[in-house]
Amino acid sequence: MFSPIQPNPIPNISIPSEIIYPRNIPPGARTQVPRPSEYGLDDHEELSIPTPDGETLSAFLLRPTNKAQARPVTILLFHGNAGNIGHRLPIGRVLANDINCTVLMLEYRGYGLSTGTPNEQGLVIDAQTGLDYIRSREDLKNGKIVVFGQSIGGAVAIDLVSKNQDAGDIKGLVLENTFLSIAKMIPSAVPVAKWLTPFCHEYWRSEVMMPKITSVPVLFLSGLQDEIVP
């Protein structure tokens, strides 16, 4: 008797998470995190914020130097890909000292000094954790909140605001060079991986979530010479 021919199993192909979340770039990004004091930001807190699923997120809370002109606004900043929150401190300094807002710079799981491994579901939890932290602090909870996302942080911000706009405390959304979806960005950002796009299990479908934001004003910043985001 002949044994029936068994079909070859379909290989389990997926795009490595390091392509979507290059958290180890540049070298030392997981251990060498610049501190606010290096940028003249003396009024700050270095935080470790627990998430509901057991991770610990590193964060900086920056306060404006000019207390007399301080605004009752907290900006929740979601950084772009690669690096860590310390690399975005020049932006945090502008928001704190030039615009006179309090700034919470949140570091996603698996980035910088935060624990865990990044993935879409996890970053969604991280974003909500940051917002809930602001809402829980006596010195911040009665102020206005502006959510500011850069690149992949824009996708994080869009998802968060679409789910929290009805609470009424989010007064603005700022998006800097973010994308429609991971699937639409891969061919431009990583041309060599464009044929693997159907095997990407990270989606960030901002083009689907964005129309759901109807009660929060949005400022979209786009640079036509961006080398990564089309």
Give, for all 230 residues of the chain, the pLDDT tens digit: 555 555 555 455 566 677 789 999 999 999 999 999 999 999 999 999 999 999 999 999 999 999 999 999 999 999 999 999 999 999 999 999 999 999 999 999 999 999 999 999 999 999 999 999 999 999 999 999 999 999 999 999 999 999 999 999 999 999 999 999 988 887 777 777 677 777 778 889 999 999 999 999 999 999 888 877 87
- Omega of the bond leading into 26 within 30 degrees of 0 (cis): yes
Compute the distance between CA of residue 117 and CA of residue 128 in angstroms, rounded to an integer: 17
pTM, full prediction: 0.90
What's the pLDDT score for residue 189?
73
* Block residue for tokens 């405390």: 169
What's the pLDDT score for residue 16?
65
Q: What is the 8-class DSSP label of residue 228?
A: S
What's the pLDDT score for residue 11?
52
What's the pLDDT score for residue 203?
87
Compute the distance between CA of residue 167 and CA of residue 203 in angstroms, rounded to an integer: 26
Do 192 and 149 contact (CB within 8 A), yes or no?
no
What's the pLDDT score for residue 5?
56
Helices (H) and strands (E) counted in the chain, each on its own, are 6, 7
Strands (E), the chain: 44-50, 56-62, 73-78, 102-106, 144-150, 170-176, 218-221
End-to-end CA distance of the chain, in Å? 59
What's the pLDDT score for residue 10?
46
